Amino acid sequence: MNNEARIKLADILLVEDNPGDVRLAKEALKESKLLNKLYQVEDGIKAMAFLRQEGDYADVPRPDLVLLDLNLPRKNGREVLAEIKGDETLKRIPVVVLTVSRAEEDVLKSYNLHANCYISKPFDMEQFVKVVKSIEDFWFSIVKLPAE
Amino acid sequence: MKKLTNKAGQYKIDLQALKESEARFRNIVLWSPDAIIVTDAKGKIEYMNPAAEGVFNRKLESFIGTDFGLALVDGESTEIDIFRPGKDPGVGEMHAVETEWMNKKKRLITIRDITERKRAEQAIRDAQEYAESIVATVREPLLVLDADLRVIKANKSFYWTFQITPEKTENRLLYDVGDRQWDIPKLRELLEKILPKNTVFNDFEIEHDFPTIGRRIMLLNARRIYREGNKTQTILLAIEDITECKQVTELKKALTDLERSNQELEQFAYVASHDLQEPLRMVASYTQLLEKRYKDQLDQDAKDFIGFAADGANRMQRLINDLLAYSRVGTRGKSLEPTDCHTMLGQAIANLSMVIEENHAVVTSDELPTVMADASQMVQLFQNLIGNAIKFRGEESPRIHVSALEKGNEWVFSVKDNGIGIEAQFSERIFIAFQRLHSREKYPGTGIGLAICKKIVDRHGGKIWVESELGKGSTFYFSIPKRGSVK
Amino acid sequence: MDKDPMQILLVEDQPAAVRLVQEVLKENNGNHNLSVAKDGVEAMAFLHREGEYALAPRPDLILLDLSLPKKDGREVLAEIKADDKLKRIPVVILTVSESEEDILKSYNLQANCYIIKPIHLERFIQVIKSIENFWLTIVKLPA
């Protein structure tokens, strides 16, 4: 038996404007045994406000992981990524780019902007759910995230 | 005066000598600063010198023939109020004497201005009163000794502090005071060796076991005063009892030393366990790899041998982990904050969800209070106790109930189970690190769980104990003080 | 899955630990090629293709231990993530240190993720498998 107590509560921020994908992500995370809470915003401006805990988002927690789509209205994912990884207090948060684009250019740019990893959304819904579960598995069971 | 006689036997007066003598005495009287008055036998004023005129603020002419009103006692002096030209009125000392000249009885009265002298005397009295008030008021014991080290005076504080009476103190040799309790070698050193060479010696430390008040550590200030007036030496001793102060300082130092020692030990435990883990990891991993990779090529003996090696390595790993967890109760402990025990219990149950499910255990609780605690340690505490309750279950599926009772200024929690129970004679041993009551095959574990519980409870200022009946079940109790302080 | 084997650079100074990773990867039967650098200096030389490493392959993934002789893992991480050509390579910190300071500093230096080496072999196998599966099949790596 493990003698150390682990308080497992992780917050995930999903930056995604496609409601279909949002729904799939929610379903995928619901089935997990880990106690994770999913927050969602649909554009880049709201994403930054959320992360900076400004305005409407004054009381939200700092997410432990960000799932970031690149194609967003108002402020696109690349800008958001650059802002997060350029901010002293936000850059430690792992950002998983989860987007449709398979373009080499997008991949390279994302890694160069210090995205923690880049994942292309599968076309297949089942696959998509599997991918989200794998992300959750890897980042919350295998990886050690920074403390707040 | 030269006596001269002529042939007829009559005295011849030396006129010159007479004139000189007269001038001399006249001037003495005229210029004397003291008032001089001459009266006849009946007290009528015959003469007053200018100083006397000043004293009475009247001219001689107005006095001649009048009565010298003031009462006189021959040979004694009295004090009277006098005028002083150009100054405030003052006090004079009047002295009268009966005398005779030219066959007539006369009274010679002198009055001396003693105003300044009186002022000086009053100043001295004031100073003395001042000094005595200080001595009496000062909270420190004070001793005044003469040159022979005899106690002239001691203040109230001295009598009170050293539980001794003035009768037993005053006029005695200091060393004899209070049945020789002041016959202290170091004190002798101060009074007989040091003080003769210095007039002041401060911060002299003496430690002594007093029969009435026990062991005391004192700081002394000693001062030798030479009094010009009566040509005597006086020695002042001011005593400060620093026993408590020293004790506090010593305790503080002991505490700091202990804290540092503790920290060093915990650091050592941490580093040792940490550095032990990597090589152990190699042993454990490779024995398992051997087992996996070569299991078809190994005979039963080889498999057994590898098994024992792997098992040993695993147990060492668990022991090190447990030691780390145990030491972390202290090193990773956080400050106490209001903690909702209900939430903490919930977290512990969530952490144990798998083992609860596997054993079909049911955990219930009453309302639990909010207490001052380290949240993650409370979770650990509940988790260990409930985990144990499930591990040491009986035939029936485990039923565990958690509750809390308010008792005075603490909360007493209880975790009750229906497991195998504990024999009364072991009820204290189980809280000691690595003490086990069962074989490893029957019930796995290193025996650190309850020791961790005890360390956590200790840290919160509480106590932990168990009431149990073999075969029936156990109830573990622990107390958490209300608004408690961290150790 | 890619046809070309995944190039993994393992930076680890303990030979026993290196061998363990190799054995576990072997068990996994993934399509990979494992290179090893035993200290920070070798690691940088490998990445810069200097001297004897002139023909070294560009790694697709770096498994980096923090405690290394000569140049330690923290420096190596900082250098990689500051280098325009190298910063795109995902760096997985794989180390024994559980110190919050090390974890935070690594993420701040843009380590892609931080993994604490588990003590038990079974769990270690699981971790290596997960790393390989996640970074090989789920993630899209830069070309």
What's the pLDDT tens digit per position in A44-80?
Answer: 999 999 999 999 999 999 999 999 999 998 999 999 9
Instruction: Check: CB of residue B389 under 8 Å from CB of residue B353.
Output: no
Identify whether C13 is part of a domain: yes
C-alpha count within 13 angstroms, C-beta hemisphere, residue B137: 6
Instruction: Check: CB of residue B111 under 8 Å from CB of residue B99.
Output: no
B88 torsion bin: left (phi>0), alpha (psi -120 to 50), beta (else): beta
Structural domains counted in chain C: 1
Neighbours of B406 (CB within 10 A): 10
Q: How far apart are CA B353 and CA B366, in angstroms?
A: 19
Instruction: Check: CB of residue B224 under 8 Å from CB of residue B143.
Output: no
Distance separating the N- and C-terminal Cα atoms of chain B: 106
Closest Cα of chain B to A38: distance in Å? 19
CATH code of the domain containing C36? 3.40.50.2300
pLDDT of residue A17: 92
Identify whether C143 is part of a domain: no
Mean pLDDT, rounded, for A116-144: 90
Identify whether C44 is part of a domain: yes
Contact (CB<8Å) A5/B445: no
Identify whether C117 is part of a domain: yes
Check if A86 contacts C (Cβ < 8 Å): no
C122 neighbourhood in chain B, CB within 8 Å: 288
Identify whether C141 is part of a domain: no
pLDDT of residue A9: 67
Check if C18 contacts A (Cβ < 8 Å): no
Check if A58 contacts B (Cβ < 8 Å): no
Identify whether C142 is part of a domain: no
Q: How far apart are CA C52 and CA B32, in angstroms?
A: 124
Mean pLDDT, rounded, for B463-483: 93
Q: How far apart are CA C79 and CA C105, in angstroms?
A: 14
Which helix (H) or strand (E) segment holds residue B399: the answer is strand B399-407
pLDDT of residue B3: 60
Identify whether C139 is part of a domain: no
Residues 365-384, chain B, touching A (beta carbon < 8 A): 375-377, 379-380, 383-384
Residues 285-344, chain B, touching C (beta carbon < 8 A): 285-286, 288-289, 293, 314, 317, 321
Check if B351 contacts A (Cβ < 8 Å): yes
Boundaries of domain holding C101: 9-133
Touching chains, B (3+ CB pairs < 8 A): A, C
Could you tell me which of B324, B468, B478, B327 has the C-alpha nearest to residue B405? B478
Average pLDDT, chain B: 87
Cβ-based interface (< 8 Å): residues of C facing B? 14, 16-17, 20, 23, 96, 117, 119-122, 124
Q: How far apart are CA C87 and CA A6, in angstroms?
A: 34
| Position B378 confidence tier, pLDDT thresholds 50, 70, 90 | very high
pLDDT exceeding 90 applies to what percent of chain C? 66
Phi, psi at residue A4, to the nearest 5°?
A: -100, 135
Instruction: Report, in angstroms and rounded to the nearest whole number, the Rg of chain A calculated over CA atoms.
Output: 15
A138 neighbourhood in chain C, CB within 8 Å: 130, 134, 138
Q: Is the pLDDT of residue B252 over 80?
A: yes
pLDDT of residue A98: 93
Q: What is the model's pTM?
A: 0.57
Minimum Cα–Cα distance from B320: chain A residue:
A3
pLDDT of residue A4: 39
Check if A147 contacts B (Cβ < 8 Å): no
pLDDT in tens, A28-53: 888 776 778 899 999 999 999 999 99
Closest Cα of chain C to A93: distance in Å? 8
Q: Is B88 helix (H, G, I), strand (E, B) or coil?
A: coil
Check if A120 contacts C (Cβ < 8 Å): yes
B278 neighbourhood in chain C, CB within 8 Å: 14, 17, 96
Contacts of B217 (CB under 8 A, 6+ apart): B205, B206, B207, B241, B242, B243, B246
Could you tell me which of B280, B270, B278 has the C-alpha nearest to residue C14? B278
Distance separating the N- and C-terminal Cα atoms of chain C: 14
Identify whether C20 is part of a domain: yes
Of A86-90, B14-18, B87-91, B343-347, the one with minimum mean pLDDT is B14-18
Q: How far apart are CA B74 and CA B71, in angstroms?
A: 10
pLDDT in tens, C33-78: 999 999 999 999 999 999 999 999 999 999 999 989 889 899 999 9
